A and B are shown apart, each in its own frame.
Chain A
Amino acid sequence: MTPPRPAAPAASFDAGPAVRIHALDHLRALAMLAGVLFHAALAYSPLLGSYWPAADRENWWGVDALAWLLHLVRMPLFFLVAGYFTASLLERRGMSGLARQRARRILVPFVVAWPLVDGSLALATEWAAAAVAHPSPMLRLIRDWLAQPDPPSLPPRTGHLWFLYYLLLFSVLLWALRTLGWGARLERWMEKGPQHLAWALPLLLWPGFMATGSPHPAPESLLPEAWALAVFGPFFALGLGLHGRLEWLAPLQRWLAPGGLLCLGLYALLADHWTTGATVARTAWAPALLEALIAAWGTLVVLLVGLRFLAQPSPVLRYLSASAYWTYLVHLPLLFALQYPLMDLAWPWPLKFAAAVAATTTLCLLSFELLVRRTPLQRFVG
């Protein structure tokens, strides 16, 4: 029999009174800022120079070194936090309440934002293909493709909104697994303790990383991608399992510094694999294992750091957390619209990078303040 758990200090969302877990709110805010930095940095990444439409003439290896480490930890952290909030909602509102909340907060924003985001990205890219004097290889390819008399249409993809799509998929899976009574399995797994988790999680992620390219791409297909389910699903499940017992992770605190250093060491080994370029579709077992270890331990390290140092209320981070959803939706079209004209400027790349990040963040926050914070949109994306 499972011992009774203490009353859950539910994290904030929008479902009735709940005790706020500031650390998770703050982590979400910082992960979103990291997202803006990551997408802006891709324009100066040697590894992605051939694939990214807004890739600049200048790039620097240090960008890859920082951006991909961020990437390996940021999305797993998002899914973990999402899993935690999902469990909180499930506890307070039940499955039907969760379904209604998912419809309002994820399905509706996804369906509405998808064509708008996709259209604005396409518009900006078509403009850039025609107007930019120093196009990236991908932009050149798009220019040639558009120059065809009857260019074939591309299949629809979710773009950067794939995160919302996968949250919906995980919610459906959660319903199915709970209905089949498999919720107890997660409970039994959690009972084995956090040390077990620290070893088992990377092994669980390993096949997923082997089944995709390295660094892993965004799973933008409308069909569920097996590798993405295998990589992000365990983090979502872990978030569900951690709800109401974050102190369960306490024994891992003493591994914080060695774990962090170990992740950096492993990342140095992984970066060495990338010196020959990115891999597409499949990854050899060794770099895939490194990715799995870094994603698992790195995410746990960031979570533990957040729980230790970000637990106090902070008005700035609170505001950023509240605006994170909106920022997530609109930042990429804004970033592309800003970075395309920057490609022709003779500025040094760090200046372009800083300008793009500053302008995108400002526009995201400004539009949040004007369009969302005090309007009915707040119910959906606030």
Chain B
Amino acid sequence: MNFGLNVPVIRLLIVKDWQLFQKQLAAYVLAGFAALTLLGLAKPWAFYLGSLALIVVLVAAACFAIATSLLVERKEQTLAFVMSLPVSPLDFTAAKLLGNLLTFGVPFAVLLLGTLVVILTTPLPDGLVILALLLFGHVLLAYSVSLAVAMQVESEGWNTFAMIGSMVLINPFLMAIGQIEAIQGPLRGDAIAWSLPAALILAGQLLVSAAALAGTAWWQGRKAAFY
């Protein structure tokens, strides 16, 4: 079942994106490793520094994945070369979406797993799991929106704005959920207590992320030609 897609070429395009991204991924792995090691020192200063480093790595991975595979390629006129390959706009869209999800998804999954391990295996209160998931949910949402904008809009300025704007919103987002007592209350407890607001926010983040990516795929898939 390939829906008329040129799967071998899509695979090659994804592998190409993966290979171009490998050096950056290696740097993120090292930075993530250092951040987790800092957390492992079990000191307050190391915890704050490690958490901050994890967020920076996450945001950087999200931005670089989009910048490398879409914005830089656009600047270097790579699309003109891709048009000479036996690929349709839908193939290209599928390759870009899947490639991006892979290059971002791997560090995202590793860091999410590492963070959950930190919370669940150290004296930190397990209630922090909810805050961590909401935080990662926000980064996923910001990434999905930025990716959708990068695929739809050619303007470099708007793309930069979408990336930086959505990622920087993490600060007000943290402040906002800090005001919700139903979320803030259980954070210091040892139980992972889901409240309705927390569940709704996470569900909203996941739904909007999925909708942004699905909408982009649908919109791009309708194109009969690249231009």
Contact = CB atoms under 8 A, between A and B. Distances in A.
A179 interface: yes
A179 B33 contact: no
A157 to B, nearest CB: 8
B37 A226 contact: yes
Given A156-B121, A223-B118, A223-B122, A176 B30 contact: yes
A245 B36 CA distance: 35
A155 B121 contact: yes
Interface string A81-108: 0000000000000000000000000000
B22 interface: yes
Interface string A150-184: 00000111000000000001001101110110000
A177 B29 CA distance: 10
B27 A223 contact: no
Contacts of A223: 36-37, 39-40, 117-118, 121-122
A205 B29 CA distance: 23
A155 B27 contact: no
DSSP majority for the B interface?
helix
Interface in B24-39: 25-27, 29-30, 33, 36-37, 39
A225 B22 CA distance: 26
A179 B122 contact: no
B75 interface: no
A90 to B, nearest CB: 16
Interface in A176-194: 176-177, 179-180
Contacts of A350: none
A176 B121 CA distance: 26
A226 B23 contact: no
Interface string B32-71: 0100110111000000000000000000000000000000
Given A172-B33, A175-B26, A176-B30, A155 B122 contact: yes
B202 interface: no
A225 B117 CA distance: 14
Nearest to A180: B26
Nearest to B117: A222
B210 interface: no
A114 to B, nearest CB: 13
A382 B30 CA distance: 32
Interface in B106-123: 117-118, 120-123
B33 A173 contact: yes
A224 B33 contact: yes
Contacts of B36: 223-224
Interface in A216-254: 221-226, 229
A155 B120 contact: yes
A172 B29 contact: yes
Nearest to A152: B190
Nearest to B38: A226
A312 to B, nearest CB: 41
Nearest to A224: B37
Contacts of B117: 222-223
Contacts of A177: 26, 30
A179 B41 contact: no
A180 B27 CA distance: 7
A269 to B, nearest CB: 29
A223 B35 CA distance: 10
A221 B22 CA distance: 29
A225 B23 contact: no
Contact of B40 (A157, A172, A180, A224): A224
B40 A221 contact: yes
B87 to A, nearest CB: 26
Nearest to B114: A223
Nearest to B122: A155
Contacts of A156: 120-121
B120 A179 contact: no
B23 A180 contact: yes
A96 B134 CA distance: 35
Contacts of B39: 223
B101 to A, nearest CB: 21
B30 A173 contact: yes
B116 to A, nearest CB: 10
Given A155-B123, A176-B29, A223-B122, 16 more contacts: A169-B33, A172-B29, A173-B30, A175-B26, A175-B29, A176-B26, A176-B27, A176-B30, A179-B22, A179-B23, A179-B26, A180-B27, A222-B121, A223-B40, A224-B37, A229-B37
The 4 nearest A-B residue pairs measured at CB: A223-B40, A179-B26, A176-B26, A155-B121
22 contacts: A155-B122, A156-B121, A169-B33, A172-B33, A175-B26, A176-B27, A177-B30, A179-B22, A179-B25, A179-B26, A180-B23, A180-B26, A180-B27, A221-B40, A223-B37, A223-B40, A223-B117, A224-B33, A225-B37, A225-B40, A226-B37, A226-B41
